[in-house]
Amino acid sequence: MGLVVQKYGGSSVADAEGIKRVAKRIVEAKQNGHQVVAVVSAMGDTTDELIDLAEQVSPMPAGRELDMLLTAGERISMALLAMAIKKLGHEAQSFTGSQAGVITDSVHNKARIIDVTPGRLKTSVDEGNIAIVAGFQGVSQDTKDITTLGRGGSDTTAVALAAALDADVCEIYTDVDGVFTADPRVVKKARKIDWISFEDMLELAASGSKVLLHRCVEYARRYNIPIHVRSSFSGLQGTWVSSEPIVQKTQAQGEKQVEQALISGVAHDTSEAKVTVVGVPDKPGEAASIFRTIADAELNIDMVVQNVSAASTGLTDISFTLPKTDGRKAIDALEKNKAGIGFDSLRYDDQIGKISLVGAGMKTNPGVTADFFGALSDAGVNIELISTSEIRISVVTRADDVPEAVRAVHSAFGLDSDSDEAVVYGGTGR
Ligand code: ADP
Ligand code: ASP
Ligand code: MG
């Protein structure tokens, strides 16, 4: 019996009852002979509420102070959880990210973990304690300031600690029974996936399936840490995310290896906006100067398209997508460099959504792209941008069309389950 790292998301610790329920689960793991390190998120929608509060005080709050504020959310849950475990008669100690040895770079609001030195956690569990760690936070190696890892970052904390502590498994407890073929809040007939490869999970996460954060899956793949995504509200087996397929016991056949599905699922994302740079001279170096400006502002972009230039004017338009939360900064940076880049105007559209189909089977199956576009056309959905990778096709549409489009694609690829509807146990979906 080795060490397990368990992570409980905000919906699992949304109120005092939730915290007591989670405390019981953690104690059960300890009683089964494991050493346990539990990572917690802020209660319910606390992080969103703190961001709203900050924006009421200042529309563009300083990154350092926002991190100071947001990390308070996880401190509340870690202390309450430690209290609840002690009440059950077991020893527990809570640790901030900094105390747990989560060392990051100094980029506020989306810091990257650069080292983990979990000495205090190791000592604590070796002494027989359950260690509780505040997720989503760390400390900058250079500035010694408190940082946060970006929204959903507790998943990354958990996997980083699992790697540093050489844990057997990282369990991610959430408000659904695992990773499904689509978001169960949108597709009632979504199917639970028993096993999914790191590669397919990376694409789903990068395409907006927020059940696991992209960086967390990247980290797990790099250190080969198997992740078990499951519900903190039920006792069911969840989804294994790992490099090798799992072996399942079935009554009929004894043991069988779970096969990789051709198509893993459909992801959607309505958190991005589209910026269009209008009237860009159609000559070498223009795209470079636009995206250098964006990169210098430390902003990541997703999709890019350039229109065919109108021969009469020699001008073209370039559109790109990026998280809505970075929209303001991107517009400001481009406006500042308007003379240098030489464009006419900027357009900003935050009413877009992205739908992606993911599956390794696409590589060898030529009909997939046609079927995907066919399903969207049957649903009357207009496509604005397209991008593909070897195992993913994504389109941008109007945000309003997203739920219908996701359901249409899910059905068209035969992913609908014919048994139980997917259960959502908690959370507000915010
Ligand atoms: P937590 O608070 O536990 O971190 P999140 O809200 O971040 O939980 O992630 C869980 C949610 O992810 C689910 O409630 C579900 O709505 C959403 N989700 C999106 N895509 C999927 C998917 N493919 N499978 C399961 N859940 C998904
Ligand atoms: N509380 C943070 C958030 O809401 C981190 C997390 O939940 O993983 O983004
Ligand atoms: Mg999450």
**Residue 305 counted as domain residue:** no
Q: Does the C-beta of 9 come closer than 6 Å to ligand 1?
A: yes
Q: What is the pTM of this model?
A: 0.93
Tokens representing 274? 């589209």
Mean of pLDDT values over 337-361: 95
Q: How many domains does the chain have?
A: 1
Atom from ligand 2 closest to the CA of residue 10: 7
Evaluate if residue 417 carries a pLDDT over 90: yes
Give the mean pLDDT of 100-121. Answer: 97
Residue 72 belongs to a domain with what CATH number? 3.40.1160.10
Q: In what order do the strands lie in the sheet with 345-349?
A: 304-306, 315-323, 272-281, 345-349
Residue 323, domain member (yes or no): no
Q: What is the whole-number distance in angstroms between the Cα of residue 397 and the centre of ligand 1? A: 22
Residue 430 falls inside a structural domain: no
Looking at all shown ligands, the one closest to residue 150's CA atom is: 2
In the predicted structure, residue 117 carries a pLDDT above the cut 90 = yes
Give mean pLDDT, residues 281-300: 92
* Residue 296: pLDDT over 90: yes
Q: What is the pLDDT of residue 259?
A: 75
Which residues, at least 6 apart from 182, have a Cβ–Cβ distance to it below 8 Å?
190, 265, 266, 267, 268, 406, 407, 410, 415
Answer whether 153 contacts ligand 2 (Cβ < 6 A). yes
pLDDT of residue 103: 98
Range of the domain at 114: 3-257
* Alpha helices per DSSP H over 104-194: 119-126, 154-164
| Calpha distance 178→340 (Å, rounded) | 49
Cα distances (Å, whole numbers) of residue 83 to 117, 287, 365, 373 = 25, 55, 54, 53
pLDDT of residue 427 exceeding 80, the answer is no
Q: Does the pLDDT of residue 260 top 80, yes or no? A: no
DSSP per position, 24-57: HHHHHHHHTT-EEEEEEPPSTTHHHHHHHHHHHH
Confirm whether 262 is domain-assigned: no
Is 426 contained in some domain?
A: no
User: Which residue of 151, 174, 232 sits with most ligand 2 atoms within 8 Å of its CB, as the best mutation to test the pocket?
Assistant: 151
**Which of 183, 186, 192, 236 has most ligand 1 atoms within 8 Å of its beta carbon, as the pocket-test mutant?**
183
Q: Report the range of poorest mean pLDDT among 48-62, 254-268, 361-375, 405-419.
A: 254-268
> Which residue has better confidence, 365 or 264?
264
Q: What digits encode the pLDDT tens for the residues 300-347?
A: 999 999 887 776 788 999 999 999 999 999 999 999 999 999 999 999
Ligand 2 within 6 A of 407 CB?
no
User: Residue 422: inside a domain, yes or no?
Assistant: no
**pLDDT computed for residue 187 by the predictor:** 96
Domain assignment of residue 289, yes or no: no
Which ligand is nearest to the Cα of residue 9, counting in written order? 1
At 62, the pLDDT band (50, 70, 90 cuts) reads very high
CA-to-CA separations, 346 to 20, 276, 279, 327, 343, in angstroms, rounded: 51, 6, 9, 12, 8
CA of 131 from ligand 3 middle (Å) equals: 20
Is the CB of 215 within 6 Å of ligand 2? Answer: no
* Lowest mean pLDDT segment, chosen from 54-58, 193-197, 415-419: 415-419
Percent of the chain having pLDDT more than 70? Answer: 98
153 — pLDDT class (breaks 50, 70, 90): very high
pLDDT in tens, 227-241: 999 999 998 999 999
pLDDT the model gives residue 255:
78
Mean pLDDT calculated for residue range 269-293? 94
Assigned token pair, 398: 């109007």
Residue 192 belongs to what H/E stretch?
none
387 within a domain of the structure (yes/no): no
152 CA to centre of ligand 2 in angstroms:
4
Average pLDDT over residues 399-407: 97
